[in-house]
Amino acid sequence: MNARLNQPIRVGVLFSETGVTSVIERSERLGTMLAVEEINEAGGINGREFQVISYDPQSRPTRYAALAKHLLLEDRVEVILGCYMSSTRKAVIPVVERWGGLLLYPTLYEGFEYSRNVIYTGAAPNQNSVQLAEFMLREFGSRVFMVGSDYVYPYESNRVMSDLISELGGEKVAEVYLPLDASWESYITVARKIKASAPDFIFSTVVGSGTALLHRAFAQVKLDPAAMPIASLTTCEAEIQEMGADIAEGHITSAPYFQSVDSETNRRCVSNFRKRFGPDEVTNMCWEAAYFQTHLLADAMRKAGGDNVADLLRILPGSEFAAPQGQVKIDEINHHTYLRPRIGRANAAGQFDILKEAERWVRPDPYLVSHTLQDWSSNVQLQAR
């Protein structure tokens, strides 16, 4: 018994190091690893070392499912931190449900899901889409061109955005989907279409390596972000670093966290991160969720005295953490997280100027079918900065 008490506690980590979404998933892995180092420096889990077993699922859903099964059955971990695209989360959920594991998922997604075996720490649509629509329609106008990757998150995000736009009497100029591995030429074609239809702004749900291609194509056909920006829920510091700050500048992103969040906790985390992982590393919304969810897990494990999933599921819902974005809390009922919506505009340094932020956290509402712009203004007081 004593021997076991001194053994490390191990958790599984599934973030892709290769494939279409490897840039952002690498960032999620590093956010996780920073938290792991901090947890161990603070004495681990009641003296036991907190270790991770990390595999590369290569951005492929079937690999996620196979590796999740391997982690639970062969490596004997109870908890998995990971997943970016919805298709990969959907592949892991049956595995954790069948073998009683727990998945912590640090990525924004399209909502309409709850699993008792999952904790969701990224934004639900009522914590980013509504805010983005409100901001864009007011600042830029109501004619919108939608472009997205061809999978479920863009379909659903566009449905929400279309509702909000029609509520304001706006107009959807076009709704275009590209395969996740679409070529440069197809992005140029889309950019030309955008130029020809002259919308007020572009709503992009392109993810992964396509993000850089879209922005580059946008610049190539000489569109001006100051007049007609690309609005996104996913384009963050990691993608900007990949594509170059010059072509990202002026575009708009809605997220609960940017590296530029001006708080003591965030400054400490970012400097700690750069000290350990290199002075050129940037943080972003997914990095932050990966970071704070690992701390939330460690706190829960300390209280539970281990990694028993039934115990963790009693403790995690309702638990809070002082995250870089501000205080966050896991909802007791829906397992999603109270987060702080913000609107940022990419600047010349590859960072975001925060144009707006919610005064308080916003309760996650993943099953909200019909969003209205009043949701945002009634729940949250906006503050221009």
Minimum CB separation from another protein for residue 123, in Å? 16
For the chain, how many residues are written? 385
Nearer to another protein, 9 or 130 (CB): 130
Judged by CB under 8 A, the stretch of 93-101, 197-205, 327-335, 352-360 that binds another protein is 93-101
Q: Looking only at residues 313 through 372 of this chain, which bind another protein when binding is defined by CB under 8 A?
A: 369
DSSP 8: P
Q: Whose structure tokens read 């003296």?
A: 47
Among 16, 22, 54, 86, binds another protein (CB under 8 A): 86
Q: Is 93 in the site for another protein (CB under 8 A)?
A: yes
Q: Is 94 in the site for another protein (CB under 8 A)?
A: yes
Residue 341 to residue 376: CA distance in whole angstroms: 10
Among 65, 182, 248, 301, binds another protein (CB under 8 A): 65
Residue 293 to residue 119: CA distance in whole angstroms: 9
**Cβ atoms of 328 and 343 closer than 8 Å:** no
The string of DSSP letters for 187-239 reads: HHHHHHHHHHH--SEEEEE--TTHHHHHHHHHHHTT--TTTSPEEESS--HHH
Q: Is 112 in the site for another protein (CB under 8 A)?
A: yes
In 223-284, alpha helices (H): 237-243, 245-248, 264-277
Q: Is 37 in the site for another protein (CB under 8 A)?
A: no
Among 57, 111, 229, 344, binds another protein (CB under 8 A): 111
Among 25, 78, 110, 375, binds another protein (CB under 8 A): 110
Residue 379 to residue 341: CA distance in whole angstroms: 11
Q: Whose structure tokens read 């004495």?
A: 43
Among 70, 90, 192, 195, binds another protein (CB under 8 A): 90
Q: Looking only at residues 143 through 172 of this chain, which bind another protein when binding is defined by CB under 8 A?
A: 150-152, 155-156, 159
Provide the binding-site residues for another protein, judged by CB under 8 A.
62, 65, 86-87, 90-91, 93-95, 97-98, 110-113, 150-152, 155-156, 159, 177, 369
